[in-house]
Chain A
């Protein structure tokens, strides 16, 4: 297969998969009644967003953005080295940690709600009006 078609396929695979993950997650969040299931769905959404960001940063035939000794050797020999975009990777590192923080707080809230109402079903926890 030529380079161009492969690129086309990869475009659809990566963008399509990550957006599908986001939509599947959203579907779970909006239709599921179980609180833990809702948090699980959100973690799928987060994964989708992260994959999307990383795919945006990829550059064809790029190497990881690390000037390791072997790469420095290549540079000294005059071979040009193309590195992938490091910024989305830094952003995703931040996003993963933030996602973990939110998940932890959400799960703690679920435990407290369960002790209070003895259920994890969102329909049975309705002391407050929406």
Chain B
């Protein structure tokens, strides 16, 4: 009993019914989302094993063949990202299972919002209809606004309001783009649009591209449209930081990549993505160096990683996409670990300065170790999974003969090393001030973090575990004609 439809149908059903489950027994509120996420993870893994490049899994909805009805596309590419999201969703649930700061009534809302943000992100990734993608993007962003403002003791409302303003701009641009596409082609199905995109005059195609690029770029935290991101990351509850890094930004990135690779065939689009990626990377990493608050630093570092992914996909080579997907996987796993462990390291500090975690290395040895593991991995040191992503990326740039870019990525890595090691230095080589009480993570949070840490080490030692899936995903993304023909098999007839 596996189908892509369950990624959406079951979280929504559970979210609607969760308040009623709470009336039966209070603990059900925490347990049932876990069962759901566990099922989603199994669903994703089984589907990912079933799907192959030449036979993506297509689910029709309401019994209408694709150009008429909405369809879901579980290709190796979208499936890979959906699997990463659903596996991390389970870990985030495990981490927040016994969340002390969330009381009963808020727990309902917290888990409802968590389920819907996960369903929305997966929906963006697996849908095959551009307006449906917009609807899921809105579900993701509205739950993100509410989650950002979830704690009252912080400036969450301010961050959420900024996010809401920027997000509303993005939805207007996307809607205008969709309106132009529908006005010319009379269809909203992505494969149908991709097949007929040449019917749109070239100049107009560029206009639509810009509208959608800006719209999705905001969600993907592309510079200069990412002013909201560090505030939202730092004001949201701890685990939600990792949700933003691993899920919502991935959903925006996916929409961007799908648009550039499948919907449009503008050659300068890749170059635009590459240039925006470089700007995002340089800008974010320089600002990260100057941050004094730990979560803002992590947020800017996260934006920098997204810049790396955009560079990789902007290269428009097979190796580039491969590297991009590897970095994307690393970013999701490692950034989650960093956010989750960091929020325990500065648990009792209100402002969460980097200086607040001085000497915590001795007070919370395991959490600090996991944080350092994540820091080593994200800068790309050899035995960890982050190394392979960066290595493939450097190989891809070298293959394209972009020496300047290669040098740039290397020098930005040095900047990364500087600010991460500054934090690690404070963790281990400063005295514990005793200003803030130590908050030991409970077993469930510890388990979630240990699994993430283990993944980083295992994938670092045996990268072949995931390379075959990434290779399939790469082939699936490149093969645009196959995407169109598997959705619309009768295209040649009419």
Determine, out of B44-52, B160-168, B334-342, the stretch whose residues face the partner at the interface: B160-168
Interfacial chain B residues near A101, Cβ < 8 Å: 138, 142
Indicate if A35 sits at the interface (CB-CB under 8 A). Answer: yes
**Is B318 interfacial (CB-CB < 8 Å)?**
no
The total of chain B residues at the interface (CB under 8 A) is 33
Residues of B within 8 A of A128 (CB): 155, 158-159, 162, 231, 235
Residues of B within 8 A of A105 (CB): 142, 145-146, 164
Determine the distance from Cα of A91 to Cα of B178 in the docked complex, in whole angstroms. 10
Interface size on A, residues (CB 8 A): 31
Residue from the list B142, B162, B164, B179 in contact with A53, Cβ < 8 A: B179
Q: How far is the CA of A36 from the CA of B259 in the complex (A)?
A: 35
Q: Which of A60-68, A73-81, A108-116 contacts B (4 or more CB under 8 A)?
A: A108-116
B164 touches A102 (CB 8 A): yes
Interface presence of A45 (CB below 8 A): yes
- The distance from the CB of B403 to the nearest CB of chain A, in whole angstroms, is 36
Q: Does A84 contact B (CB under 8 A)?
A: no
CB atoms of A109 and B161 under 8 A apart: yes
Task: Check if B175 is an interface residue, CB within 8 A of chain A.
Answer: yes
- How distant is the Cα of A54 from the Cα of B297 in the complex, in angstroms? 45
Interface of chain A residues 88 through 127 with chain B (CB within 8 A): 88, 91, 94-95, 98, 101-102, 105-106, 109-110, 112-113, 116, 125, 127
Q: Which residues of A contact B179 (CB under 8 A)?
A: 49, 52-53, 56, 88
Interface flags, A32-55, vs B, CB<8A=1, else 0 = 000100100010011001001100
B176 within 8 A of A: yes
Q: Which of A56, A102, A127 contacts B168 (CB 8 A)?
A: A102
Most chain B beta-carbon contacts within 10 A, residue among A42, A116, A125, A128: A128
Given contacts A105-B146, A106-B164, contact A125 B138 (CB under 8 A): no
Q: In the complex, which of the residues B159, B165, B188 has the most CB atoms of chain A within 10 Å of its own CB atom?
A: B165
B160 touches A109 (CB 8 A): yes
- Contact of B164 with A91 in the complex, beta carbons under 8 Å: no
* A24 at the B interface (CB under 8 A): no
**Residues of A in contact with B (beta carbons under 8 Å apart):** 22, 29, 35, 38, 42, 45-46, 49, 52-53, 56, 85, 87-88, 91, 94-95, 98, 101-102, 105-106, 109-110, 112-113, 116, 125, 127-128, 130
List the interface of chain B (C-beta within 8 A of A): 131, 135, 138, 142, 145-146, 149, 152, 155, 157-162, 164-165, 167-169, 171-172, 175-176, 178-179, 182-183, 186, 188, 227, 231, 235
26 pairs, A vs B, C-beta closer than 8 Å:
A22-B176, A35-B161, A38-B165, A45-B168, A45-B172, A49-B175, A53-B175, A87-B182, A88-B182, A91-B178, A98-B135, A101-B138, A102-B142, A102-B164, A102-B168, A105-B145, A105-B164, A109-B149, A112-B152, A112-B157, A113-B158, A128-B155, A128-B158, A128-B159, A128-B162, A128-B231
